[in-house]
Amino acid sequence: MKTRYTFGGDEHIFVEMDDEMSLEAFFKAIAISRAVQEAKIDGVTEILPANASFEVRFNPDIIHPDTMMAKLKELESAASNAEPRMQTRIIEIPVYYQDPWTHETVMRFRERHQDPSGTDLEYAARINGYDSVEAFIEAHHAQPWFVSMVGFVAGLPFLYQLVEREKQIEVPKYLRPRTDTPKLTVGYGGCFSCIYSVRGAGGYQMFGITPMPIFDPQQQVTYLKDFMVFFRPGDIVKFAPIDRAEYDRIVAAVEAGTYQPRIAEVTFDLDAFNADMRGTNARLMEALHGN
């Protein structure tokens, strides 16, 4: 891993922990961005953690860009001694795979896809070496995911699966982006899954849909009353497959204000995870179902 610092115009510094994705790069980015936050540097206006990088926005009228850069580099050495451990939460996200709404969209934009003769799921299963769509879907929800970035549009989480690199699913984005994606579509691009928080353009492959809103500007949804965005970087997600009846039941419960996502507080330790991935994941999932 080699850290790279660069200016993005006169108001931003972009710091890339590594050019490839890994949990180590993500943890390092989170650790330094937290250190920057705690340092309360005069002139820093926003800190944006991302998958394997982070960005700092600053006001150059208050702090000279070179001074800002020097401060960030100082903080890197301090943060690299931080233990790769975090207090976080695990959340169960119900997913209706192969639902009719994303399927309709899949078919509508077929000519923009690498393989116009099949569906996104068939294509993703094949290029990742799965015998069937069902086996591929199983791989997508069996092990949990890290929210490694929140952004693109309002409250959209990027998710990185907690499995060995050789088991990571990888798919390209659409050849040309779609002009439409249903709200709450569960998508996939590169090595990341995502949940589209709002309806709109998109280039990720489409696998299913969740009935659980994750962004609500009106703040009507019970669990979004305090803040309109659900996800934070560092959240852990477990997808749970559901059928149409369960999907409809949850949609009705959200509308009635009775739906509460299943959430548990957990500690995630990267070293423990690397020593025993399946054991660590099993403990995370036990915590989810223990309360």
Partner 1 sequence: MAIKVRKPGLSTSIQDLGRPGYFHLGIPEGGAMDRFALRAANMLLGNDEGAACLEAVFMGPELEFEADTWVAVTGATMPILLDGEPREGWTAFPVSKGQVLSFGFLKEGARIYIAFAGGIDTPMHLGSRSTYVIGALGGLDGRPIAAGDTLPIGTPGKVSERKLDRALLRPSQNPVELRVLPGLYWDRITEASQERFFAEDWTVAPEADRMGYRFRGGSPMEFVPREQPFGAGSDPSNIVDGCYSYGSIQVPGGTEPIVLHRDAVSGGGYFTIGAVISADMDLIGQLQPNTKVRFVKVDMETALDARKERKKRLQTIRDALTTA
Query: Least Å distance between CB 43 and partner 1?
Result: 13
| Interacting residue with partner 1 among 41, 150, 221, 242 (CB under 8 A) | 150
Of 86-94, 153-161, 253-261, 270-278, which part binds partner 1 (CB under 8 A)? 153-161
Query: Least Å distance between CB 265 and partner 1?
Result: 21
| Interacting residue with partner 1 among 189, 251, 277, 283 (CB under 8 A) | 189
Tokens representing 159 are 């998710």
Strands, DSSP E only, in 157-232? 157-161, 185-189, 192-195, 205-209
- 149 makes contact with partner 1 (CB under 8 A): yes
Of 115-123, 148-156, 251-259, 269-277, which part binds partner 1 (CB under 8 A)? 148-156
CB-CB contact of 210 with 173 (8 Å)? no
Query: Least Å distance between CB 244 and partner 1?
Result: 27
**Collapsed DSSP state (helix, strand, coil) of residue 279:** helix
Which CB, 207 or 215, lies closer to partner 1? 215
- Listing from the earlier edge strand, what are the strands of the sheet with 44-49? 4-8, 12-16, 53-58, 44-49
Secondary structure letter of residue 163 according to DSSP: S
Of 18-26, 81-89, 115-123, 260-268, which part binds partner 1 (CB under 8 A)? 18-26
The CA–CA distances, whole Å, from 40 to 34, 35, 46, 127, 164 equal 10, 9, 11, 47, 37
- 8 makes contact with partner 1 (CB under 8 A): yes
- 102 makes contact with partner 1 (CB under 8 A): no
- 24 makes contact with partner 1 (CB under 8 A): no
Secondary structure letter of residue 7 according to DSSP: E
Cα(291)–Cα(289) distance, integer angstroms: 6
Contacts 24+ apart (CB under 8 A), 213-222: 213/184, 213/254, 214/155, 214/157, 214/184, 215/154, 215/155, 215/156, 217/154, 221/254, 221/257, 222/257, 222/258, 222/259, 222/260
> Mask of contacts with partner 1, 25-54, x by CB under 8 A?
--------------------xxxxxxxxxx
Of 75-83, 143-151, 234-242, 246-254, which part binds partner 1 (CB under 8 A)? 143-151
Which CB, 151 or 241, lies closer to partner 1? 151
Which CB, 55 or 246, lies closer to partner 1? 55
- 243 makes contact with partner 1 (CB under 8 A): no
Cα(225)–Cα(235) distance, integer angstroms: 19
Cα(262)–Cα(122) distance, integer angstroms: 30
- 155 makes contact with partner 1 (CB under 8 A): yes
CB-CB contact of 217 with 65 (8 Å)? no
Query: Least Å distance between CB 87 and partner 1?
Result: 19
Nearest to 99 by CA among 257, 246, 204: 246
Of 12-20, 89-97, 251-259, 264-272, which part binds partner 1 (CB under 8 A)? 12-20
Which CB, 154 or 287, lies closer to partner 1? 154
Interface residues toward partner 1, by CB under 8 A = 6-12, 14, 16, 18-22, 45-55, 57, 60-61, 64-66, 149-156, 158, 165, 168, 170, 172-173, 189-192, 197-198, 200, 215, 217, 228-229
